[in-house]
Structure 1
Amino acid sequence: IVIANGCQDGTVEEVRRFRDERLDLRVFEQKLGVDVPRAVGAKIAYEYRSQGVLFVDGDMTGNFTGVLLQLMERITDGWDMALLNCYPVIPYRPRDSLSQLITYFRAKLNRKLNLFDKLGIASPSHGPHALSRRLLETVPFRELAVPPVSLVLARQAGLQIGVAAGIPHRELQSKTGDARHWELTAQTIIGDCLEALCLLEGKPRSRLCHGVEMLGYHPERNWELLQAFLDSYRS
């Protein structure tokens, strides 16, 4: 399943050159926004009656097939959320840097979930991961577009969550982008963690951190387009 959204780089043409009847290409002229394609892909996989779904971002060009197989194996074994640990050693960053804030909030969320001993700072926000059909039946598809929230909902439902494999972040060979892209990405992840913490604590969802709203790419998430897609299965 390939979710091409707002692509202007030849992705659609390249995918169409593959001759495989299993390939399902869905093209959205508008951008769906960060992480929203996961919700779309998960819904498609669910309607295929798949027993699980494996997410891989299109800009990851590393050679990590073995890791993907480990993720799928854990779902076959009965796990519901199989994560990748991209930081086996928690990195040190200067205090108050965005990198340090990401580490802090990911660790805080996992501790609040009583999962830190199992996950460290692993998160569905980072790297390929796999979900079971049971999770897709439990967590609303919309919430898969805010990955830390899906983690909280899975934990609250008593689903089995763990780290299936580890790989250094650099080996994913993700697209790096410029400093502004990194800043917006960091703010997105931090804001997502803040929303998840609010949900866990029974508070209204908020992205505020010391009076600063951590938006990042969050405003670009196209909720209307996602909802229209999900609703199309009800007609």
Structure 2
Amino acid sequence: MNIAVVPAKNEQGRIGKVLTMLGETRIDRIIVVVNGSRDNTMREIKSLNMPNVEILYFKPELGVDIPRAIGAYRAFKEGACCVVFVDGDMIGNMLDHINDLISAVKDSGIDLAMTNCYPEIVYGNELTQQLLIFRKLLNVNLGIYHKVGVSTPSHGPHAVSRKFLKKADFRDFAVPPVILAFAVKQDFCVDVATSLPQSKMGSKVRGFYHAVKIAETIIGDTLEALNYFNDKPRTRIYLHREFQGYNPRRRFDILEKFLKKN
């Protein structure tokens, strides 16, 4: 069974398009992790009347990537042999790309299949340049840069195999670069399965403040992954600067409760 995990927070006007698109792919079941929403996201999902959609509802905001971890665990428990992660705001035409990810896992034996969101690296601004430098730093140290470039599970749709899920710590799905480091460390098959430029994803435009915070989050996650890979304490510090971003808002406490109860 192929299951899609879709985090959704205040995605009214978008979530319906994402779920409709997924319904046309090789996905058999969709788990939507609705959290912290104050709009009509839930109503929009229910109005679709899609029998293969399951909603996991959390009143508080879970924080970035925690919904992925929750969805991954639920999908594993439901017997998924391939889990695809797609953000609830991505309204770009991704049907073929989702199928590419599923094919990579189901037909080609890839355990962590990623999307190349930078098929051509153009440093549009200083923030993007800084972020991509850290992404490259991690992938070079993992020994996979020649194969995947700056691709990361933090950015774009990606998929994992059941074999991967059986060994992974589901808490690490909340810090996506760590699952990449884990995959390499455990000799899982990691590769890029499809190419989709950032500009084609149709992600919501959230402003400069969010861009800075999410960049700091991913940089911190990358440092944490690098330290994990090298068997060092999982700090988020580089040259005496700590990169936290949205990390403090991640509700690991709710994730822990969910993992224990389910």
Tell me if both proteins adopt one fold, taking TM over 0.5 as the criterion: yes
- Aligned-partner residue type, residue 81 of structure 1: L
Q: Which residue does 2:142 correspond to in 1?
A: 113
> For 1:79-129, what per-residue CA distance to the aligned partner results, in whole angstroms no more than 9, with x for missing partners?
1011000101222356xx332221111111111111011100000010000
Measured in 1, the distance between the counterparts of 2:178 and 2:80 equals 23
Extract unaligned runs of 5+ from structure 1.
none
| Partner SS state of residue 151, structure 1 | helix
- 1:182-201 to 2 correspondence within 5 Å? 182-201=211-230
| Partner SS state of residue 136, structure 1 | helix
Conserved 8 A contact 1:98-1:187: no
- More moved, 65-74 vs 10-19: 10-19
Q: Which residue does 2:77 correspond to in 1?
A: 47
Q: Which residue does 1:134 correspond to in 2?
A: 163
Q: Which residue does 1:21 correspond to in 2?
A: 51
| Partner SS state of residue 57, structure 2 | strand
Give the paired residue count.
231
| Partner SS state of residue 229, structure 1 | helix
Q: Which has the higher contact order (CA 8 A, sep 6+)?
A: 1
> For 1:147-168, what per-residue CA distance to the aligned partner results, in whole angstroms no more than 9, with x for missing partners?
0001011111110010001011
- 1:64-213 to 2 correspondence within 5 Å? 64-77=94-107, 78-92=109-123, 97-213=126-242
Measured in 1, the distance between the counterparts of 2:197 and 2:116 equals 8
Measured in 1, the distance between the counterparts of 2:241 and 2:204 equals 27
> For 1:131-161, what per-residue CA distance to the aligned partner results, in whole angstroms no more than 9, with x for missing partners?
1111111111100110000101111111001
- State the identity %: 41
* Mapped pair 1:56 → 2:95: no
Measured in 1, the distance between the counterparts of 2:124 and 2:208 equals 16
CA RMSD of aligned residues (A): 1.0
- 1:3-14 to 2 correspondence within 5 Å? 3-14=33-44
Conserved 8 A contact 1:138-1:154: no
Measured in 2, the distance between the counterparts of 1:106 and 1:206 equals 16
CA apart distance, 1:31: 0.9
Extract unaligned runs of 5+ from structure 2.
1-30
Measured in 1, the distance between the counterparts of 2:32 and 2:100 equals 21
Q: Which residue does 2:22 correspond to in 1?
A: none
